[in-house]
Amino acid sequence: MTTVLIVDDHAVVRAGLRLLVDNADGLEAVGEAGTADEAVERVKELAPDVTLLDVVMPDGDGIEALPAILSVHPEGKVLILSMEDNPGYVRKALNAGASGYVLKEAVDTEVVRAIREVAAGRRYLQPELGMRLVDSDEPEAHKAEKGQLSQREREVLRLIALGHTNPEIAERLVISVRTAETHRANIMQKLQVRTRADIVSYAMTEGILRPS
């Protein structure tokens, strides 16, 4: 039986993932965590075979928590489950010690397959992510790691700078509010900004938003 710890800041998402894991043959969800710090404590307590880790956490970046998670349970594997599909971001997770990376939009069978692969000691990348990683050349990868935003993130950033709320952004871009929230968190983490004023300043400097 492969034991799985589910780490996500949304209780509804955790509940759905727990149901998915428990309904899969040979897998068992042994616990949940809603923050990066809690994830480290739960891994230390439960020693799961696989930690299913979200990137966007209320107390920090999930990838930044990877070293601490692996230090308390070196034998365990970490599978990233994220909205972020930028090759540079995927590379950052793998370099930090993740055994796999799957997008949240993946079908249930893909997530289960990924858990089984990393539990068996193999790396797993969602196929389209693997192709993007191979196709991305090194200069582009370095730029992404230094904070380059994807085209969708630039669209979200412009709307944030214009004062739109997450529900308004979701409606305009035809995405879920959860996805809008994730994009906002990723933008702020990549740019190392804390306020909307910082975002407005960046948008104007980069020509994303023109002065009125």
Domain boundaries, the chain: 2-135, 149-205
Per the model's pLDDT, the better-predicted residue between 136 and 156 turns out to be: 156
What's the confidence (pLDDT) of residue 141? 45
DSSP 8-class letter at 78? E
DSSP 8-class letter at 194? -
Among residues 128, 86, 114, the alpha carbon closest in space to that of 17 is found at 114
* CATH class for the region spanning 149-205: mainly alpha
Least confident residue range of 4-8, 110-114, 150-154: 150-154
* Torsion sign, CA atoms 94, 99, 105, 110: positive
Q: Is the pLDDT of residue 142 over 90?
A: no
* Rounded percentage of the chain residues whose pLDDT exceeds 90: 47
Distance of CA 28 to the CA centre of its chain: 22
Tens of pLDDT, residue by residue over 109-126, are: 999 999 999 999 999 988
Tens of pLDDT, residue by residue over 35-74, are: 989 999 999 999 999 999 998 787 777 888 899 999 999 9
Per the model's pLDDT, the better-predicted residue between 84 and 141 turns out to be: 84
DSSP 8-class letter at 195? S
CATH of 2-135, one of 3.20.20.370, 3.40.50.2300, 3.20.20.70, 3.40.50.2000: 3.40.50.2300
Quote the mean pLDDT of the chain.
86
- Confidence bin at 144 (pLDDT 50/70/90): very low
Q: Is the pLDDT of residue 137 over 50?
A: no
Beta strands 77-82 and 100-103: pairing type? parallel
What's the confidence (pLDDT) of residue 139? 47
Q: Is the pLDDT of residue 212 over 90?
A: no
What is the number of residues in the chain? 212
Q: What residue spans of the chain are helical by DSSP H?
A: 11-22, 36-46, 66-72, 87-95, 108-119, 127-135, 138-145, 151-161, 166-173, 177-191, 196-205
Instruction: Judge contact between 101 and 82, C-beta under 8 A.
Output: yes
Q: Is the pLDDT of residue 133 over 70?
A: no
Instruction: Judge contact between 101 and 111, C-beta under 8 A.
Output: no
CA dihedral 13, 73, 43, 50 (to 10 degrees): 30
